[in-house]
């Protein structure tokens, strides 16, 4: 009886011990799962944090690259702005000079018009007292200059240029030889003649039949006849040279000697 009870008690103790071990194993398994889950959660959080760090690092590198690029652009703009400012300063200086010139132009224009008038008057008087060659052409040129004086569509500068051009033409007359046709009153009769001009030192004529020749005498301001045999061939030769029909050569012509002043 006693043995039977001990046996039953031992069995009961073993059963209780097994139950305790099973419970402990169950608790330990549950704890391990929790630890594993926690570790996995930490790893996931770490991976997420690392991804965020990598993304921020890439963004930082991009921002740094943009910053360096912008700085280079700023340096370039500073150089460009500095150069542009110098150009603007030079332009402002030039504008000031132009403004001063504009102010002076008004004064010059007021002085130019009387000067142009005096130059035309002087030119007209000069032609009147000069050797009478191309008289009509020269008088028409002077008339043209006078007509332009009252034209509002012609600037003062252009009027002045035209007068200078007329003076230049008159100056050229004194350095060239010339041959042209015209007429001269000989013994009360208008005769067709060929004129031969040597600058302003000689103006001669010869009738178309070459029989009569004459020269302009500036002191008496009249035509004087020439001996037929003395100058006939020389004048004919001069006419051919002036027309470029013969080469330049020496000629015996009636030239007035300069007078002592």
Give the DSSP letter string of the chain. -HHHHHHHHHHHHHHHHHHHHHHHHHHHHHHHHHHHHHHHHHHHHHHHHHHHHHHHHHHHHHHHHHHHHHHHHHHHHHHHHHHHHHHHHHHHHHHHHHHHHHHHHHHHHHHHHHHHHHHHHHHHHHHHHS--SSHHHHHHHHHHHHHHHT-TTS-HHHHHHHHHHHHHHHHHHTT-EEEEEEEEEETTEEEEEEEEEETTTEEEEEETTSS-EEEEETTTTEEEE--HHHHHHHHHHHHHHHTTSS---------PPPPP-
Out of 11-15, 45-49, 84-88, 94-98, the most confident range is: 84-88
- Both 162 and 183 in one domain: the answer is no
Last residue of a domain, one of 172, 196, 219: 172
What is the domain range of residue 197? 176-242
Rounded average pLDDT over 29-41: 75
Q: What is the pLDDT of residues 126-183, one digit of tens each?
A: 999 999 999 999 999 999 999 999 888 998 889 999 999 999 999 999 999 999 999 9
Band of pLDDT at residue 12, cut at 50, 70 and 90: low
Same-domain status, 188 and 163 = no
142 and 187 in a common domain: no
In a domain, 226, yes or no: yes
Q: What does the mean pLDDT of the chain come to?
A: 84
In terms of pTM, does the model score above 0.85? no
- pLDDT of res. 78: 86
Number of structural domains (the chain) is: 2
Angle formed by the axes of helices 156-173 and 2-129, to 10°?
Answer: 50
Residue 60, pLDDT score: 86
Does residue 200 contact residue 130 with C-beta atoms inside 8 Å? yes
Q: Please give the pLDDT value at position 5.
A: 57
Q: Which of 171-180, 188-197, 245-254 has the lowest mean pLDDT?
A: 245-254
Give domain status of residue 254, yes or no. Answer: no
Span of 12-26, 86-100, 227-241 with lowest mean pLDDT = 12-26
Confidence of residue 116 (pLDDT cuts 50, 70, 90): very high
Cβ partners under 8 Å of residue 239, min gap 6: 179, 194, 196, 206
101 occurs within a structural domain: no
Whether residue 12 is contained in a domain is answered as: no
Is 102 within the bounds of a domain? Answer: no
Comparing 170 with 103, which gets the higher pLDDT? 170
> Is residue 70 situated within a structural domain?
no
Most confident of 85-94, 100-109, 209-218: 209-218
Most confident of 33-47, 79-93, 152-166, 245-259: 152-166
161 and 199 fall within a common domain: no
Which is more confident, 161 or 65?
161
Is 163 inside a domain boundary?
yes
Closest CA to 158 of 198, 189, 104, 112: 112
Residue 235 lies in a domain: yes
**Residues 181, 238 share a domain:** yes
Query: 165 and 221 share a domain?
Result: no
Given a cut of 70, whether residue 22 has pLDDT beyond it is: no
């Amino acid at each position: 009886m006693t043995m039977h009870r001990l046996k039953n008690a031992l069995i009961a103790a073993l059963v209780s011990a097994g139950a305790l071990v099973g419970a402990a194993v169950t608790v330990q398994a549950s704890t391990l799962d929790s630890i594993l889950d926690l570790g996995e959660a930490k790893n996931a959080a770490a991976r997420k944090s690392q991804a965020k760090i990598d993304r921020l690092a890439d963004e930082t590198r991009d921002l740094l690259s943009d910053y360096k690029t912008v700085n280079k652009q700023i340096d370039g703009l500073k150089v460009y702005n500095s150069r542009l400012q110098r150009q603007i300063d030079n332009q402002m200086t030039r504008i000031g000079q132009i403004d001063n010139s504009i102010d002076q132009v008004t004064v010059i224009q007021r002085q130019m018009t009387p000067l142009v008038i005096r130059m035309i008057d002087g030119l007209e008087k000069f032609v009147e007292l000069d050797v009478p060659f191309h008289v009509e052409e020269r008088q028409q040129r002077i008339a043209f200059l006078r007509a332009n004086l009252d034209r509002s569509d012609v600037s003062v500068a252009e009027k002045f240029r035209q007068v200078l051009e007329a003076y230049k033409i008159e100056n050229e007359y004194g350095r060239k030889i010339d041959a042209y046709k015209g007429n001269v009153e000989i013994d009360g009769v208008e005769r067709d003649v060929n004129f031969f001009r040597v600058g302003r030192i000689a103006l001669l004529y010869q009738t178309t039949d070459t029989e009569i020749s004459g020269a302009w005498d500036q002191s008496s301001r009249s035509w004087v006849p020439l001996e037929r045999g003395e100058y006939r061939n020389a004048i004919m030769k001069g006419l051919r040279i002036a027309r470029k029909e013969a080469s330049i050569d020496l000629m015996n012509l009636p030239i007035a000697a300069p007078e002592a002043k």
